[in-house]
Structure 1
Amino acid sequence: MTEEVIFDGPMHVHYGFIWLHPEERYDEFVSGRPFAGQENGLCGAAIPGLLDLRTGLHTGSVPVRVVLADSEPPLGDAEDIVEVSYRPDQPVLWFGGFDGGDEITLPVDAYRARWSATAMDAGRDVDTVLEEETAPDSYELCFWPDAETHPDRIVRVGSKTAAYWHSTTTSDGPAD
């Protein structure tokens, strides 16, 4: 298995979320229901081409790594892991939240996406980190080619924060 790191660094979050989407579809994403019909409450993929990712930290920068693998990678040690099917409709995507982000490039293809979270509860407990502070939680978003569309799935639940988000998922998505 080979992998390419397409983003590795701090990502500023506000309200505990990160979005991956084509920049011109921002309004559709905000007004849509990215968790509709899903089982998991951490990675919303119900709107084609868009992902809504939850973090434990409410506000501040969290370490995030985004990887493109050529095949399904082994599960890591993260406490919380979910998977969704994902198909971007353009290669250049916006990865960020309200206060900014970065463009990343992901070849247009059908993927399985895995959102892995470590120390979500610690991030939730801290709530906010200042610019010079380090968040206790960290995340990885991994993509690998998968031509078939599969339902989302909860692979592992190890935190109360993830369990909460999973339990609040309804046919319309997480209740905030």
Structure 2
Amino acid sequence: MDTRPFRVGFVTGATPDKWARVWRQRYPRTPLELVPVTQADQERGLREGSLDMALVRLPVNREGLHCIPLYDEVPVVVAGLEHLVAAADEVTLDDLADEQLVLPHESGWTPSAEQLDWPDMDLKDAVEVVASGTGILLVPMSVARLHQRKDVVYRPVTDLPTTKVGLAWLVDNDDDRVQTFIGIVRGRTERSSR
């Protein structure tokens, strides 16, 4: 197998650790580099060639890309600990209709005209704003867990569609390591064939 580093990007909230662990056990002479990427930049590394594969949050532009959907993510609302959301097990969009939505640039949401007034912020800053009691944040559960703090809560939003995480790579990338990584993600053993 090729000994150049095999670079796999992963979008905020995705967890490639279990697959990376299997790769490193099976192919210790082929370095695997995990590269964090934002949702806004998740395709760029693939298309520019700095990444061999990436765990992406769908949808992505499939032109020139292969993509295997892997799993769904539950959408949640993140709110300050004193917010009414904290008293519920789950909420609907109607429950949140009068709330101010905090919109970080990494959220993947398209802002409405009134939301454009928010300063540019990342997810960490957005959680800080929400923790202060100003507004709510809508993100996949994996992102909420990543930014979990003692002064915020998160609850499922039952009528928002789930988001999906997939494994993407360039159609023209015929590197054997791509197929090897796909096999690991799909749970193939060392002795199984495609």
TM range (shorter): under 0.3
Q: TM-score, structure 1 length as denominator?
A: 0.28
Q: TM-score, structure 2 length as denominator?
A: 0.26
Compare the two structures and name the one with the higher helix fraction: 2
Compare the two structures and name the one with the higher strand fraction: 1
